[in-house]
Amino acid sequence: MNRLPDFAAPLEICQAELAEPIRLTELAEDWRRDLNALESRSIRRDRDAIRRVEAALAQSGDSYAFTSALQAAMRAYANETLSIWGDAALNTAQRQAELIDELTRLSGAWRLFWFAPLQKLPGAEAPLGSFSAWLRACQDEMLSVVRSTPTQSRTPAHTAMGA
């Protein structure tokens, strides 16, 4: 009658392993929804630019008025493009952090399932290192490269060539 804990632990592991792919699917769905929102902003930006150019053509009586209206339309287009790119970069960083966290949880459940029987063997040591610590170190390294200034991360071509 002492077998209940042996069955309970694998059941909990299976529940965790089934819950994590569902969570990963939810993350992918959230990412897709964000990308669709950015795409709709791009379409709106393009439509607005075309409407502004059409209005400039219809309302301009001379080339100076048309040129200034066209410049205003291009300025608005460029500003909206930069805003979309900034939001896309921010969303990507957030979604990647969420994905790394979920993969860390999934790997923890997987390691618990596969390495727990090995730790019961006499003379067996715990697995070296931690996958989550390795992922965190990789993420920290990527963030340090991204946060560094361009002069710190890249050497000029003439310096690299020995000139």
pLDDT in tens, 16-61: 667 778 888 899 999 999 999 999 999 999 999 999 999 988 887 7
Q: Report pLDDT digits (tens) over 123-140.
A: 555 555 566 676 777 778
For the chain, the average pLDDT equals 77
Pick 163 or 82 by higher pLDDT: 82
Instruction: Grade residue 105 by pLDDT with cuts at 50, 70 and 90.
Output: confident
Sequence ranges of the domains in the chain: 4-156
Count of C-beta atoms within a 10 Å radius of residue 129: 9
The CA-based angle 123-135-96, given to 5 degrees, is 150
pTM above 0.85, yes or no: no
